[in-house]
Amino acid sequence: MISDKTLFCSTVYKTEHTAAHHELVASAWAVKIGHEIDPENKIGCMLAAGTIYPATCKPEDVLAAQHVETVCCLNISKK
């Protein structure tokens, strides 16, 4: 049986992943259009994230915070 906490975390993760996907797609379109307007434009995407703190000092919360920070700080727009 899936716990309510697991279901909640899964839903939050999917929502955040979808939001990040939409942000990167919008950025790609903005870069494309900007270069169509003027190929010499210096345009790109900058993503910034603050520090992620664990909810508690439990090891699973610390690892989850580290995972989120690692995933959020990857520069995936260059791939």
| SS3 (DSSP) at 74 | coil
Q: pLDDT value at position 39? A: 93
Q: From CA 33, how far away is CA 39, in angstroms rounded?
A: 10
Q: What is the pTM of this model?
A: 0.50
Per the CB < 8 A criterion, the answer to whether 43 and 34 are in contact is yes
Structural domain of residue 18, as residue ranges?
4-78
Report residue 78's pLDDT band, with 50, 70 and 90 as the boundaries: very low
pLDDT of residue 74 exceeding 90, the answer is no
Q: From CA 41, how far away is CA 32, in angstroms rounded?
A: 10
Total domain count, the chain: 1
pLDDT in tens, 11-53: 666 777 788 788 888 988 999 999 999 999 988 776 666 677 8
